[in-house]
Amino acid sequence: MPRMPFTPPGAFHGVKVSVISADTKMPLYHDPDAVENEDPQTRQHYVEAVTGAKFAVKVSLTRRFEVGTAGAIRISLKPDNATSGWFTDVPEYNCRYGQKSGYTFDHLTKFDRATSQWKKGELSFGNLETKETSDSHISLDSAKSLGRIQVTIERVHLRPDPLGHVQCDTDFKRVTEVPEKALKGSGVANTIECSNYTISGPPPIRMLASPILGPLGKPIVINILYRSKRTLQMLGCIPRTPSPEPAARGLEEENKALRVSLFRIEASTLLFLINLQARLERLERSANIKPEHVAGIKREREDAEKAASRKRARSSGPTETVDLTDD
């Protein structure tokens, strides 16, 4: 019976990558220009970069991740134009027996030649200045890598490094300014910055790694492109005018409560005005009736006095006697 060809599981089965800032997972936006199935081993996402915000990159491997014949899983991180980046080796047995494993890159280690000390610094989105002419002699290839965090996951076999090199990029230098023409409208406004350095121990001595044979030996690559909110809106990753539904509902409830309060105030004010109008009308009626009543009484008194005066006038002359009998 002929053997069936080996069909590897999905390259990203059991792989989770997240960017964490302020103890919150940041949304990873789909690349609207990505071509489906262009490279099944590579994925590309966008994330919003806020200048000065600290962040960490967390890589998790779940029980669904296929280990194969690997002796270890190498997880690497390369910020911007770093040459080799930083990496860690996860023992294969951490994944083989269903244990959740991975690594969180929350700082980068470097050797300070001025003090001859190893130091580690926190990751953040630093500001990138663009100028017409710049003293930065950055190549076009290096400029294309700006604004990108590249995470690589490999199934490898390990062997000791006879030179005893450490597993970090000791030559990484952050780019702070760049000629505007080098970016070619990519919308890059930040680069990865390490700050708040503290003294640390030296990183582990690296092991030389070689990929396992077969389809599982191909590396898995996740490119995280960090851009400003405005650039993400222009790219179509997020809506240009996002609708704040919770805020709208809260504002609607507040307006409703305000309308109810105004209605109550208007009703009480209207009732007060009605009562006041009725009282004024009663006062006006009482004011109009009183003078007429007094005038009537006065006229009646004057008429009575005039009648008595006429009666006295008729009876005040001498009394005459007329005899009406016949002689």
* Rounded mean pLDDT, 239-243: 66
Q: What is the pLDDT of residue 78?
A: 93
The pTM assigned to this predicted structure is 0.68
Between 211 and 182, the higher pLDDT residue:
211
Q: How confident is the prediction for the chain on average, in pLDDT?
A: 79
pLDDT exceeds 60 at position 234: yes
pLDDT exceeds 70 at position 36: no
Q: What percent of the chain has pLDDT over 90?
A: 33
pLDDT-derived band of residue 18, with 50, 70 and 90 as boundaries?
A: very high
Q: What is the pLDDT of residue 2?
A: 38
Q: What is the pLDDT of residue 26?
A: 95
pLDDT-derived band of residue 318, with 50, 70 and 90 as boundaries?
A: low
pLDDT exceeds 60 at position 298: no
Helices (H), 145-244: 180-183, 229-235
Give CB contacts under 8 A, 24+ apart, made by 195-199: 195/121, 195/122, 195/124, 195/126, 196/121, 196/122, 197/112, 197/119, 197/120, 197/121, 198/119, 198/120, 198/121, 199/117, 199/118, 199/119
Q: What is the pLDDT of residue 270?
A: 72
pLDDT exceeds 60 at position 244: no
Between 15 and 203, the higher pLDDT residue:
15
pLDDT-derived band of residue 207, with 50, 70 and 90 as boundaries?
A: confident
pLDDT in tens, 136-164: 677 777 888 899 999 999 999 999 888 87
Q: What is the pLDDT of residue 109?
A: 87
For residue 38, give the 3-state DSSP assignment.
coil
Both structure tokens of 298 = 């006065």
pLDDT exceeds 90 at position 52: yes
* Rounded mean pLDDT, 237-257: 69
Between 317 and 113, the higher pLDDT residue:
113
- Which range in 134-138, 202-206, 261-265 is most confidently predicted, on average pLDDT? 202-206
Q: What is the pLDDT of residue 9?
A: 54
pLDDT exceeds 70 at position 296: no
pLDDT-derived band of residue 4, with 50, 70 and 90 as boundaries?
A: very low
pLDDT exceeds 70 at position 258: yes
For residue 154, give the 3-state DSSP assignment.
strand
pLDDT-derived band of residue 299, with 50, 70 and 90 as boundaries?
A: low
Q: Strands (DSSP E) along the chain, which ranges?
A: 15-21, 24-25, 29-30, 42-48, 56-61, 72-79, 86-91, 101-105, 107-112, 117-127, 129-131, 148-160, 177-179, 190-199, 207-211, 220-227
pLDDT exceeds 80 at position 40: yes
Q: What is the pLDDT of residue 295?
A: 53
